[in-house]
Chain A
Amino acid sequence: MPDSGYPWPIETTRLDNGLRVVVSEDRTAPAVAVNLWYDVGSRHEPEGQTGFAHLFEHLMFEGSVNVAKTEHMKLVQGAGGSLNATTNPDRTNYFETVPAEHLELALWLEADRMGGLVPALTQETLDNQRDVVKNERRQRYENVPYGDAWLRLLPLLYPPGHPYHHATIGSMADLNAADLATFQAFHSTYYAPNNAVLTVVGDASAAEVFALADKYFGALPALEEIPAAPDGRTVAGTGRPAVETVTTDVPAPRVYVAHRTHPFGSPGYDVVTVLATVLGSGRGSRLYQRLADGERIAQPDLVGAYGVDLAHAPAPLIATATARPGVSGERLAAGLAEVVDELASVPVTAAELDRAKALLSTAWWRQMSTVDGRADTLGRYATQFGDPAKAADRLPAWLAVTAEQIAEAAAEVLAADDRAILTYLPEQGR
């Protein structure tokens, strides 16, 4: 068993204004990854403002005090870099990987939008990006079969008022109601050095990065108080499954079975991660062997299970299957539930466990094989667990999981009476 999942140096500092800076030097390639995790996500959104954290992420590319509209993308790509940003229930992150000689440019751009977004934010920009986000919603969720599954699963798993009850993309109605002042306030409330982690990985030394971080971010003021998101750590079970059936324009019946498990980063979630791999990753998984191969009721390319790595409340485990022609949604749902139920009663064999751990090892080293993958990982551990070096513990923790722990976890968190079941059925005549 490897002692560490992170065999590279990690150095950290904290600026006087609270910005945490994480550096991991690696001179293998002349590239450097810059990654900012802001500890704000859709879990912070009050009712009536769903989708705001994500729409705000778009606005962060539209100019700031010293960066003209559209210039951010142009400068990073014009430096040879790749860039993007993502928002999820937990957090928002912004990242670019650039040839190493452009590190300072990347830090300057990030500092300018951390400290100088509000004065540059205009109604025109908001209106434009609102339209872009509405098109994103159409393209990813509305215009594709089963595209809204995640939007439907969350409210089945988390009750109203829970920070994970609504999806990050938000509702069209809330997006339409968004006004400029709300977004200015959003930045002033959450975008501050003491609510962020700056991670730099690659062809740069810690001393160099610390000095540049101080130069560009050091004078930004800290926020006195940053409002916490609602506490979602405890979710009471209802004692009966949450069931939704959608009859719509889809090509075949599909079933999702979902459970609340443990927060990402906890020992319980490490067990769930291995469990999910045993259950639904690869052709050797239980779902594939039983439903796609054995009974042959599920389409082989569309059967699987995975955990969603959320850290602030019991994270979802989702198993899904899509029916082969002639198989009813009912039969598929029964088959899927049976395989999930058996995790508590049919012990996981040594071969199943070894297979899962081997796949997880490869997945871990794949994430570590690029500077941007490493930067995102360190930023996550610094933000969510207070210490980037804790990233090294994840792989060993997965590799230490036992078959007994998996059976116990299955009995604890996969109970049939505390399950969300979402079924899509084709419309009549199809």
Chain B
Amino acid sequence: MTLIAVRPGAGAARPYRFPQVVRRTVAGGQVVAAHLPGQNLAVALLLLDAGAGREPAGKEGLGGVLAKALEEGTAQRDATAYALAIEALGTELVTGLDWDSFQVSVQVPVERLSAAVELLAEAVRTPRLDPDDVRRVRDDEATALRMEWANPGPRADAALRADLFGADNRWGRPMYGDPDSVAALDVEDVTVFHSEWFIRPGTLVVAGDLDRLDLDALGAAAFAGTGGGPVERGGPIEVAPRPGRRIILVDRPGSVQSTLRLGHPSPHRAHPDHVPMTLAGTVLGGAFTSRLNHLIREVRGYTYGIRGDFASSRRFGRFAVSSGVQTAVTAPALVEAVGEITRTRETGVTEEELAVARSWRAGQLSVELQSPRAIASALTTLVVHDLPDDYHARLRESLLAADVAQVSAAAATHLRPEELTLVVEGDAAVIRDDLTATGLGDLVDHHS
């Protein structure tokens, strides 16, 4: 026999280490850095308390328009000169936002980080925001969203979010807004949002070889000319459960797949069940060998992939399952997905499944935290959720310590299959009757 039949065991485990974290207060702002000795690349990321949660209801997409407008010229130079200056350093200005924060970052060879942070600060703190430019950027953003909303997914996501959290609330509307909300923004919305949230110092996150970086100088550049302190961020939002399960059908004529988005509200990020809940989600829909992916992809062949998880921000969370399934098998795929969620709630997880989930999540803390960008992202988690420097080491310990009873209890408490909203975006004429016949819940047609 040319193959070795016996599977090898693990070698001696190496100790886990997250890079050394350094915190400084500089010029009225906070610097949080990770030391990556020998790394040629460095990332600086300015974290502002200006996430989607800060946008007024009815003004969804404001942060996204402002993000683009930052690059349309500054007090010192026009848009073209700015693009050439920052790209000559080897980076673009990368912006992003989530419910809790707005992030703008640069990634360059380490010796260029200081110059890149100066340009980052120039755009964030002193953008020109010429009214004609802002209107053009707004129109481009509305067009970009229309393009994106032509893909399967965004309409289903919006229908799910609205049903879970209520379309009257900011958090019941799409994080990035929709084509209409963006088109309705005016110049003053953008300039006011900037003056309210983009002049406060915020936190500068740095990941790189700190022996070759001057954190005080980086902080001074990032926080120059800023003012105003932190603003109360608000506690967890009480989401009223909506009893009864229902199907929302979003029509996509001619679609060869149906897009599934199933979900219900779940706890916010600081909830004490965060770790067992994460592991329950991993067993159900996170790992490749999860219950959902195993059944719907590997046994049935209905899909290229299906996943489910608990996701949470500071103030709220949701459990959701997403997939694209072949049109002809939409109804059975939906029934079987709901079946696996129900089974997981009722009978919990097995030790064999949990062993994979906990080792995977723990191992990812070394395997996936290598690049400066990944480390910077891990640091933003510390800042946004007020976590200590040794958080990742502690998280690893709690993942590895979680037992079947805890994780099964989290599944029983936080999975609520009877309260699921089942959004299906597909060819309504073909799938409507099958969906009704599943008996999973009343079917409502979505009108957008």
Contact = CB atoms under 8 A, between A and B. Distances in A.
B289 interface: yes
Interface stretch (A47-55, A70-78, A313-321): A70-78
The residue among B17, B109, B150, B325 with the most chain A CB atoms within 10 A of its own CB is: B150
B81 to A, nearest CB: 10
B333 to A, nearest CB: 11
Contact of B7 (A30, A105, A129, A284): A105
A362 B41 contact: yes
Interface stretch (A212-220, A267-275, A379-387): A212-220
Nearest to B14: A30
Contacts of B15: 30
Interface stretch (A37-45, A230-238, A249-257): A249-257
B40 interface: yes
Given A78-B356, A132-B301, A139-B257, A105 B8 contact: yes
Contacts of B370: 29, 31, 369-371
Interface string B2-16: 111101101111111
Contacts of A65: 3, 5
A101 B12 contact: yes
A289 B71 CA distance: 13
A173 interface: no
Contact of A99 (B255, B257, B324, B367): B367
A268 B372 CA distance: 32
A359 B87 contact: yes
A73 B353 CA distance: 12
Interface in A343-396: 351, 354-355, 358-359, 361-362, 365-366, 368-371
The residue among A77, A81, A82 with the most chain B CB atoms within 10 A of its own CB is: A77
A14 interface: no
Nearest to B12: A101
B79 A293 contact: yes
A143 B256 contact: yes
B143 interface: yes
A159 B448 CA distance: 45
A100 interface: yes
A140 B370 CA distance: 29
Contact of B371 (A142, A299, A355, A369): A369
Given A73-B289, A143-B152, A80 B360 contact: yes
B432 to A, nearest CB: 19
Contact of A104 (B8, B303, B372): B8
Given A112-B3, A143-B324, A31 B87 contact: no
A77 B10 CA distance: 14
B324 A115 contact: no
Contacts, number: 222
Contacts of A368: 40-41
A223 to B, nearest CB: 13
A357 B254 CA distance: 45
What is the interface residue range for chain A against chain B? 35 or more
Contact of A283 (B7, B71, B254): B71
Nearest to A219: B2
Interface string A140-174: 10111100000000000000000000000000000
A99 B363 contact: yes
Contacts of B5: 65-66
Nearest to B287: A77
A135 B303 CA distance: 5
B359 interface: yes
What is the interface residue range for chain B against chain A? 35 or more
A34 B379 CA distance: 28
Contact of B289 (A77, A134, A249, A366): A77
A215 to B, nearest CB: 7
A370 B3 CA distance: 31
B80 interface: yes
Given A135-B325, A284-B80, A98 B8 contact: no
Nearest to B327: A138
Given A115-B2, A361-B90, A135 B39 contact: no
B108 interface: yes
The residue among B91, B257, B367 with the most chain A CB atoms within 10 A of its own CB is: B367
Nearest to A360: B90
Contacts of A144: 151-152
A301 interface: yes
Contacts of A282: 83, 87, 92
Interface of B: 2-5, 7-8, 10-17, 37-41, 68, 71, 79-80, 83-84, 87-92, 107-109, 136, 140, 143-144, 146-147, 150-152, 254-257, 287-289, 294, 297-299, 301-304, 324-326, 355-356, 359-360, 362-364, 366-373
Interface of A: 28-31, 65-66, 70, 73-75, 77-82, 97-105, 108, 111-112, 115-116, 127-136, 138-140, 142-145, 203, 215-216, 219-221, 249-252, 282-284, 288-289, 293, 296, 299-302, 322, 324-325, 351, 354-355, 358-359, 361-362, 365-366, 368-371
Which A-B residue pairs are the 7 nearest by beta carbons? A80-B363, A131-B301, A30-B14, A358-B90, A283-B83, A362-B90, A78-B356
10 contacts: A77-B360, A78-B360, A81-B363, A105-B10, A135-B325, A143-B257, A145-B151, A289-B80, A293-B80, A371-B370
Given A252-B147, A282-B83, A283-B79, 12 more contacts: A31-B370, A65-B5, A77-B360, A78-B355, A80-B359, A112-B3, A251-B147, A252-B143, A299-B143, A299-B147, A355-B84, A362-B107
